[in-house]
């Protein structure tokens, strides 16, 4: 029997997932979320709420941080992702951009980009590499100007561009972004937001962890608020942005601001 073609528009389904680090530290408890095709879903919460842990669970990188899924399931279309295999996640179309950029400082911009396609199969990599580079340079013309420059000599904003570009080299259908605006100047934050919107408009779904709640909610279709490893709130991003709790805790509005609004 011939192998069935992969689902071209899969949905991420995280169902009642528990995660622990070591033997005792509980990081997530019964967390569920769905990321439909070509949507943006935002994860909000304070430091330590479990946002990065959830991205690691989806991307298969938990074991690198001594974490493990102890209950629940994660599926992307027909692909089971809770087995903790990052290569399988990339080949399914799920790619993470970690917090802090983590580019290879001693390699050139071009070498960093090429490293982003190493998780693909050889046949897919050969066919995809030029198309992906063209996409990256269209989104980030500044990287095209610095192709042979060492990544460690780029500014913080340029390194964030490179980290996102490296992830795009794998032609993801679902992009996991962990704090893409962290430590960037306001003008660069605005540019990163524009790029996320462009990437999504091109058909790539995005699961976005972001401390800048205003930016995240402006980009997202749906949002979840995590608190100490559990889901506290979830719903359409526009509706959550109007709730008292989100406006007070994440948008920096006081009771007087809310009353005036």
pLDDT at 244: 86
Digits of tens for pLDDT over the chain (261 positions)? 334 445 567 999 999 999 999 877 899 999 999 999 999 999 999 888 999 999 999 999 999 999 999 999 999 999 999 877 888 898 899 999 988 778 888 999 999 998 887 766 666 566 677 888 889 999 999 999 999 999 989 998 899 999 999 999 988 999 999 999 988 889 999 999 999 999 999 999 999 999 899 999 999 999 999 999 999 999 999 999 888 888 887 766 544 444 444
- Angle made by CA atoms 16, 77, 1, in degrees to the nearest 5: 130
Instruction: Count CB-CB contacts under 10 A for residue 223.
Output: 28
Q: Which domains does the chain have, with CATH numbers?
A: 34-62+78-260 (3.40.50.300)
Structure tokens at 10: 């899969």
Nearest to 189, CA basis, from 165, 160, 166, 217: 160
Widest Cα–Cα separation across the chain: 66
Instruction: Give CA separation, 234 vs 15, 41, 177, 226, in Å.
Output: 14, 10, 19, 9
Angle between helices 122-139 and 186-201 (to 10 degrees): 130
φ, ψ of residue 76 to 5 degrees: the values are -120, 100
- The closest alpha carbon to 6, from 83, 93, 127, belongs to 93
pTM of the model: 0.88
């Amino acid at each position: 029997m011939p192998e069935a073609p992969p689902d071209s528009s899969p949905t991420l389904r995280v169902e009642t997932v528990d995660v622990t680090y070591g033997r005792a530290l509980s990081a997530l408890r019964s967390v569920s979320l769905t990321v439909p095709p070509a949507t943006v879903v935002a994860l909000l919460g304070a430091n330590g709420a479990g946002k990065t842990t959830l991205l690691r669970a989806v991307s298969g990188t938990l074991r690198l941080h001594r974490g493990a899924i102890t209950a629940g399931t994660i599926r992307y279309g027909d692909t089971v992702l809770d087995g903790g295999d990052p290569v399988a996640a990339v080949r399914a179309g799920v790619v993470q951009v970690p917090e802090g950029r983590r580019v290879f400082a001693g390699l050139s911009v071009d070498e960093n980009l090429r490293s982003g396609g190493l998780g693909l199969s050889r046949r897919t990599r050969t066919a995809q590499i030029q198309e992906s580079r063209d996409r990256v340079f269209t989104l980030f013309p500044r990287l095209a100007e610095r192709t042979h420059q060492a990544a460690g000599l780029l500014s913080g904003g340029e390194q964030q561009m490179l980290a996102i570009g490296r992830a795009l080299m794998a032609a993801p259908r679902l992009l996991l972004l962990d704090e893409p605006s962290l430590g960037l100047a306001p003008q660069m934050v605005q540019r990163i937001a524009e790029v996320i919107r462009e990437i999504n408009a091109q058909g790539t779904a995005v699961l976005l962890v972001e401390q800048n709640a205003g930016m995240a909610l402006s980009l997202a279709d749906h949002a979840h608020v995590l608190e100490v490893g559990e889901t506290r709130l979830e719903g359409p991003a526009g509706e959550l942005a109007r709730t008292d709790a989100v406006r007070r805790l994440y948008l920096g509005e006081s009771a007087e601001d809310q009353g005036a609004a």
